A and B are shown apart, each in its own frame.
Chain A
Amino acid sequence: MPLTQHHVVPSETPMQNNTASVSKQSVTQAAQAVLAESAERGGGVQMFGIDKIYAGSTTKALDNFNLEIKPGEMVVLLGGSGCGKSTALRSLAGLEDIQHGRILVGGQDMTSVPANKRGMAMVFQAYSLFPHMSALENVEFGLEIRGIGRAERKRVAMEKLELVGLSDQAGKYTQQMSGGQQQRVALARALAINPRVLLLDEPLSALDAKVRVQLRDEIRRIQLEAGTTTVFVTHDQEEALAVADRIGVMHHGRIEQIADPTTLYRRPTTEYVATFIGLSNKIPGSSNGTEAEVFGHRVPLLDGSASGAAVNVLVRPENIILRAQASDTPGARAHVMMIHFLGSLVRVDTIVDHSGIPVTVQMPASELPTGLRNGSVVTLEPLPIPALAA
């Protein structure tokens, strides 16, 4: 892909000088690498040192936000309310003005390009179909703007409606469609313009659980078929784990960790990520930075773990063995507080004797010791699987 006049090296602009934490040199190197890669492959998103403060607020909604997405990749931004995930998406779409930083798409500087010229398409949480148009007309809308002839527009629109399984609903209006159908049409409409980047802002949040799972899988299937670079924002970690190539966990306006779902779950780099993704027990122990002692057992530690005589070791519930009675082997004696049957799995809430630390253990239902009930005395032993100490 030839470089256009939009191509810039971010560090050469005055705006970049204001970016606090990203050094000029690193940004320059990153941007140059990105430009080269984008020129070769023709896509991808890079957001460097983005700062965003809403009018009337003193808190940064985005604080030195950095994100790189490879062409054709689906990245999910995951986080709690107010973490800045939607702001990041809207900034990428051009719907929010940013105070600092640079946004590159396919190597082109998009920072000051208006939303309608960015070649992206967005699906919103709120149903956003144009009420005065039928499903077909909605899908045709973006094509009409691009000056595509009526016959061709109809062909493409029908093709996209077929893709989302709604070709037989083409003539229907919003009030005649269910929420799931409306979001499918919105997805077809977004895909019809063949966007450089597809932006999904919690598109499933307004739907009921069954439709949500169904549409979630469809979105992933369609994204893989179309090969469109996609950014998906959600607060639902199950949704994120199910569809993402990579997940960026956001906290306080920046990405705490970005990685594939397995890495994110097994090798969290911060306490926030470890506790936000899945369940983690916070067990007091001592650490030398590479190993920790938990309930008298040695547990290897992940990179970035804290060291000291009093640290919290974040151990997943499935990485703790529960023995039915007190034993002489090292471990913590505890009492069962509650047993939750989750179908194929079972979760046992316990309280460690003397210290009163709550510890949750999870195991296959078939491995639940017989006769275990609330109040039973058990022994807890951590497995030697790497954990994070904080």
Chain B
Amino acid sequence: MAVNTTSASHTPRAATRQAGAPPQLRAIRVHQQRIIKTVILTVTSLFLGIPPLSMLIFTLRHPLSGRWSLDPWKAIFTADGSALGADLSTLWSGLGISLGLCMATVVIMLLLLVPVMVIAHIRSKRLERIIEWVATLPLTIPAIVLVVGLGPIYRWLSTDVLSSNPIWLCFAYAILVMPYAFRALTVGLNSIDVLTLCETARSLGASWARVFFRVLLPNLWQSMLSASFISISVVLGEYTVASLLGRMNLQVALYQLGQSNSQISTAMSLLALLFGVLLLVSIDLISGAMRRSKENNQPCL
């Protein structure tokens, strides 16, 4: 039977041998690792960067004439697309609706998920697992299948209960953002000893409302912020549900605008993408700032 050299190289003895290798050999290995890292970083950057870069070029260079100009961007920032023969009112309307949807979805998501997850976390691990399973479902069900179920409900909602105002898409979106928001909130709940904090506050005389607002929320705000930002990103990029249910939002408006002026549409898509990226980066920056702040305040007595 052949000796398995691969597994042998992972043993502590092999690692010690590597550490004790001659300096030239070590330098070669470090160099090789640097090359591998650079290749991976380059490929990933190209994979992620080429589409937005192509979009940017597309907005600056007319597809037919090949003329370079900033007109699509000017149209967006001056809110006047007449020079390019585009009516931007649909775009502003879609943007307004999407921003409204972001707010409504975040509010519903927080009101629904935070108390339920806190209660499940305190009361029952089993219930927590069930909620996790339910919250993950929207990831496994394709949006088009979801719409098949949501269609009749929205028909009933728009005729008998509410109206056909696209803002009511917030209920569907609250379901769509659930898997992402659930994960973000779970991280927050697991980072503190929720049960002990609750019991301590209760034993000191706090009502459940005070425990929730005075003790738990201040310790969960970071994860709630993460959940909100991720939800906003999802809502701003959502097209399928709104389109299939015949409602207007930013992505539907962009699609419609794309029929008349694809450059403005693409520029706006790029801005929406940039906004989403900024939100996600800001989560990272806030977390990093908090971590550094805590580390700076640790004289370790």
Contacts and interface: CB of A to CB of B under 8 A. Distances in A.
Contact-residue size bin, chain B (C-beta under 8 Å from the other chain): 20 to 34
Contacts, number: 74
Interface string A49-71: 00000000000000000000000
Contacts of A118: 203
B218 A145 contact: no
Q: Report, nearest first, the 3 A-B pairs whose CB atoms are least far apart.
A: A142-B204, A122-B203, A128-B200
Interface stretch (B67-75, B205-213, B232-240): B205-213
Nearest to B204: A142
Contact of A130 (B197, B203, B207, B301): B197
A190 to B, nearest CB: 8
Given A128-B193, A131-B219, A132-B219, A120 B203 contact: yes
Main secondary structure of the interface of A (DSSP, over half): mixed
Nearest to B124: A55
A175 B215 contact: no
A145 B205 contact: yes
B298 A176 contact: yes
A199 B200 CA distance: 11
B284 interface: no
B205 A193 contact: yes
B22 interface: no
A353 to B, nearest CB: 51
A126 B205 contact: no
Contacts of B214: 141
A175 B204 CA distance: 22
Nearest to B295: A175
Nearest to A128: B200
Interface centre among B193, B202, B219 (most CB of A within 10 A): B202
A341 to B, nearest CB: 35
Contacts of B294: 175
Interface of A: 93-95, 114-122, 124, 126, 128, 130-132, 141-142, 145-146, 173, 175-178, 181, 186, 189-190, 193, 199
A190 B215 CA distance: 16
26 contacts: A94-B202, A94-B203, A115-B202, A116-B202, A116-B203, A116-B205, A118-B203, A119-B205, A121-B203, A122-B203, A124-B196, A124-B199, A126-B193, A128-B193, A130-B200, A131-B219, A132-B218, A145-B204, A145-B205, A145-B206, A173-B297, A175-B294, A175-B297, A178-B301, A190-B204, A199-B203
Contacts of B201: 130, 141
Given A175-B298, A177-B301, A95 B199 contact: yes
A116 B196 contact: no
A146 B215 contact: no
Contact of A122 (B193, B197, B200, B298): B200
A193 B204 CA distance: 8
A128 B197 contact: yes
